[in-house]
Structure 1
């Protein structure tokens, strides 16, 4: 088995402890089915060109330059060496700034996951101390480092024999929830409805197992390619009709009955004493 290739190597600084570590990709889309654009008539793969929209002529690489748009069709040109000066200098230090209870970590800020492992046998003891201290305290370490040409925040947590580090979205990158939720009306829900919904939840409790989540698109595309190679006729699948919206209470009661256990009894209104 080929050893994993580190994306980054440096030192994890935990107080006065400095531990050599390596960062490995935790999730990748490289195994997904991908397509190339080809010429329908010749079967040749197409190449992408940058074309000047006014002259309609392709622009060679040596004449291409990055530009920041300040107004419609007006740009500030920025040279490659000028951009290079804006890249922060890396000291290869993953510096821990604070520790946050895991329950208080807002996963909305999580970007990409990475595995963090010690580099060399001599780093194993310090790494284990950091890992077990985080696990025992049930906290994540908020750290910063220059990664991939940018100064980034990371949330580091104990997992198994190693650590998991998520790069963090910057605050300006995370959209406000109020924009998405502002049109949701405030409703008073009957307690029986909530009890029925809780019963459905209790009857379907399980464990998180990513292997049970099938990528149906990937599987369908793979089958499509196999069928095309075999010369089979491709038939369009039947259109799935959207479910009809019915009475909410009836739907909850029917769902609760399917759970395998009797649903909670209906609440009876108590008569007031005369």
Structure 2
């Protein structure tokens, strides 16, 4: 039981650097200004600053608008549309769509994507990106948004949420049984550290649950404070637990 719980702790620990990682920055000029400006429209409206509904039963029609402010031609080979939670990608569509934008010029293109399999991949609110890629799959530019996927609760994301809940529950059961059996370290700092994995797991469960229930999007301003906040609260709670008898 203890070995399995330790394995759960390691698994949650592997999620930490992923969930706190930042996406790659788009191409930029030497003076720091963005060299490639990208916007995308779905349903005739820009996807920036709003929640975009994705219904797997309907094909998605995307209009891309690209402005090339760099000094080189922009050779786009494919478009990638992806969605993630906790820094982990749960769906990704790569579509071959080649076009070139000359320096100082703008271009608009329209494409349709069949997303019927999305119903089995995700559900709820997700952080999403539309990226322009070269033939070597290097990013030329991107636009970010939040999507609301009308998928199944038994999708890959739903199963991941259940697994995360089970792992976190096992961590809590282990640490609380250890506390009840007076087997925690007598040193308060070391005792508090024993609670941190369960607190971190609680934060991750909260992020995924809020996203699936469409309460809060899993973006950095939500993910990081929740994960770190739960860790700190649980750390303090563990620090204040009574010392085991001598």
Q: TM-score range by the shorter chain?
A: under 0.3
Structure with bigger gyration radius: 1
Task: State the TM-score, normalized to the length of structure 2.
Answer: 0.19
TM-score by length of 1: 0.18
Structure with higher RCO (Cα < 8 A, 6+ apart): 2
Name the structure with the higher helix share: 2
